[in-house]
Amino acid sequence: MNFISQRVSSLAASQTLAMSQKSAELRAAGIDVINLSVGEPDFFTPQHIKDAAKAAVDANFSFYTPVPGYMSLRKAIADKLARENGVTFAPEQIVVGNGAKQELCNVILATVNAGDEVIIPVPAWVSYVEMVKLAEGVCVTVPAGIDSNFKITPTMLEAAITPRTRMLLLCSPSNPTGSVYSAAELRGLVEVLERHPQIIVVSDEIYEHINYTDEGFTSMASFASIADRTVIINGVSKAYAMTGWRIGYCAAPLTIAKAVTKLQGQYTSGASSIAQKAAEAAYTGPQECVGVMREAFRRRRDLVVAMAREIPGLKVNEPGGAFYLFPQVEAYIGKRCADRVINDDSDLAMYLLDEAHVATVAGSAFCAPGYIRLSYAASDQSLAEAMRRIAAALAKLQ
Ligand code: PMP
Ligand code: GLU
């Protein structure tokens, strides 16, 4: 008997999490694997945030939480959006959940009908396509390669729009490429969207603080002409090194926030009380920690880019944000080491794991075959060693 639904059978497992799990297993077996697969800060959560969580335990924050989150946290998020992004959202428009991942999935499930088209510029984070499939939507991927810095143009967006387009899913700074759209580039996309009022814009801003560009970060919701149909996805995972606490949010038009709350009320309820109090401390407390971590990531970006550029055959751009490098590896496809043939980027990622003991993720997981993703959220020493190992393993391919 096959007990598994069509819905779940047709989903791909998360390859970022799978690669990370595989490298943890190899490590447990005593192999010195350097894990550059999963994207999560390697820093510990700042002390004042941990203290807030401990205080919440002692103050008996142990009861069910309101489905969309504590009002105090939603207010703190509304203040953050006004202060840092110059956008106005009432606390009622904000829904807190178990990570940005859950809120993104909620928004998609709450707005996409079967057969609706969702435009996804690719490379894109592993979960976008699968979430749209879960909602029985149709993914319309718009590829942009390394030569265009992985960014789509207004013309490319316009060409992808049809009367069935329901949503545009944008991520800047981007996972997996690190590319950052400038305000002018976003404005170009907004001008297209102004002509198509049926499209909801979902802007995944989870890497907003990990941005090394001089211009800084522009939120999609800051464009007045589309603000009433723009949803921000964000959370504490990346900016405050809190991936395991599982707190993220959507800031959305009220009707969408209410629909998300209804959905969340039926299948997970409100997010963890303790984690919400910690997140509140993150948003209301001192912000220096954010800049300190960003500067460490910038230093590592420079290190990894410089070392990757020394490796023959790797095509590397300079990412403006996030903590990923997305080199093109096509020069190695079709090569071999003894009787092992590298047929595609997945083979190359497995080869690097077996031969160099470095875990990466194949570009095809992000709808971008011919690339691999390296997360440089690791110590400088690990990164330098990983790049040396990768260079040595690639040099063996003939
Ligand atoms: N969006 C992007 C682009 C991400 O890389 C991640 C990290 N997994 C998420 C959303 C989800 O983050 P979280 O669920 O940890 O808040
Ligand atoms: N965003 C991270 C990554 O892409 C975390 C893993 C995940 O949730 O997919 O590696």
Q: Which atom of ligand 2 is nearest to the CA of 101?
A: 8
Mean pLDDT over the full length of the chain:
97
- DSSP 8-class letter at 344: S
The finding on whether 218 has its CB within 6 A of some atom of ligand 2 is: no
The finding on whether 125 has its CB within 6 A of some atom of ligand 1 is: yes
Instruction: Copy the structure tokens of residue 30.
Output: 């005593």
Give residue 91 CA to ligand 2 midpoint distance, Å.
Answer: 27
Share of the chain above pLDDT 90, in %: 95
DSSP letter for each residue of 212-225: --SS----GGG-GG
Residue (of 334, 327, 323, 335) closest to 295 by Cα position: 323
* 128 to 76, 83, 106, 119: CA distances (angstroms): 27, 29, 12, 10
Residue (of 297, 329, 296, 298) closest to 313 by Cα position: 329
Read off the pLDDT band of 335 (50, 70, 90).
Answer: very high
pLDDT digits (tens, 9 = 90+) for 103-148: 999 999 999 999 999 999 999 999 999 999 999 999 999 999 999 9
Task: Give the residue carrying structure tokens 């942009």.
Answer: 144
Question: CA gyration radius for the chain?
Answer: 21
pLDDT digits (tens, 9 = 90+) for 286-309: 999 999 999 999 999 999 999 999
Q: What stretch of H or E contains 166?
A: strand 165-171
pLDDT at 15 over 90: no
Pocket test for ligand 2, best of 19, 37, 98, 126 (most atoms within 8 A of CB): 126
Give residue 101 CA to ligand 1 midpoint distance, Å.
Answer: 5
Ligand nearest to the CA of 105: 1
Ligand nearest to the CA of 247: 1
Q: How many C-beta atoms surround the C-beta of residue 194 within 10 A?
A: 12
pLDDT at 377 over 90: yes
Residue nearest to atom 3 of ligand 2 (CA): 39
Cβ proximity of 94 and 230 under 8 Å: no
Give residue 390 CA to ligand 2 midpoint distance, Å.
Answer: 22
Note the pLDDT of residue 139.
Answer: 98
Residue (of 190, 207, 145) closest to 367 by Cα position: 145
Q: How far apart are the first and last CA of the chain?
A: 46
Cβ proximity of 357 and 26 under 8 Å: yes
Contacts of 191 (CB under 8 A, 6+ apart): 154
Compute the average pLDDT of residues 45-65: 98
Compute the average pLDDT of residues 334-338: 95
Instruction: Copy the structure tokens of residue 10.
Output: 């047709």
pLDDT at 13 over 90: no
pLDDT at 12 over 90: no
The finding on whether 137 has its CB within 6 A of some atom of ligand 1 is: no
**CA separation for the pair 250, 235 (Å, rounded):** 8
The finding on whether 85 has its CB within 6 A of some atom of ligand 1 is: no
**CA separation for the pair 349, 342 (Å, rounded):** 9
Pocket test for ligand 2, best of 175, 242, 323, 325 (most atoms within 8 A of CB): 175
Give residue 204 CA to ligand 1 midpoint distance, Å.
Answer: 8
* Category of 368 on φ-ψ map: left (φ > 0), alpha (ψ -120 to 50) or beta: beta
Read off the pLDDT band of 209 (50, 70, 90).
Answer: very high
The finding on whether 157 has its CB within 6 A of some atom of ligand 1 is: no
Compute the average pLDDT of residues 323-346: 96
pLDDT at 214 over 90: yes
**CA separation for the pair 188, 201 (Å, rounded):** 14
Cβ proximity of 46 and 240 under 8 Å: yes
Note the pLDDT of residue 385.
Answer: 98
Give residue 163 CA to ligand 2 midpoint distance, Å.
Answer: 32
Side-chain-facing half-sphere of 391: CA atoms under 13 Å: 15
Residue nearest to atom 2 of ligand 2 (CA): 39
pLDDT at 213 over 90: yes
Note the pLDDT of residue 303.
Answer: 98
Read off the pLDDT band of 17 (50, 70, 90).
Answer: confident
The finding on whether 373 has its CB within 6 A of some atom of ligand 1 is: no
Note the pLDDT of residue 107.
Answer: 98
pLDDT at 22 over 90: no
Read off the pLDDT band of 18 (50, 70, 90).
Answer: confident
Note the pLDDT of residue 193.
Answer: 98
Ligand nearest to the CA of 37: 2
Task: Give the residue carrying structure tokens 């428009």.
Answer: 93
* Total H helices, total E strands in the chain: 13, 14
pLDDT at 346 over 90: yes
Compute the average pLDDT of residues 262-291: 98
Note the pLDDT of residue 14.
Answer: 84
Ligand nearest to the CA of 361: 2
Residue (of 374, 23, 14, 43) closest to 239 by Cα position: 43
Pocket test for ligand 1, best of 125, 181, 366 (most atoms within 8 A of CB): 125
Give residue 60 CA to ligand 2 midpoint distance, Å.
Answer: 32
pLDDT at 365 over 90: yes
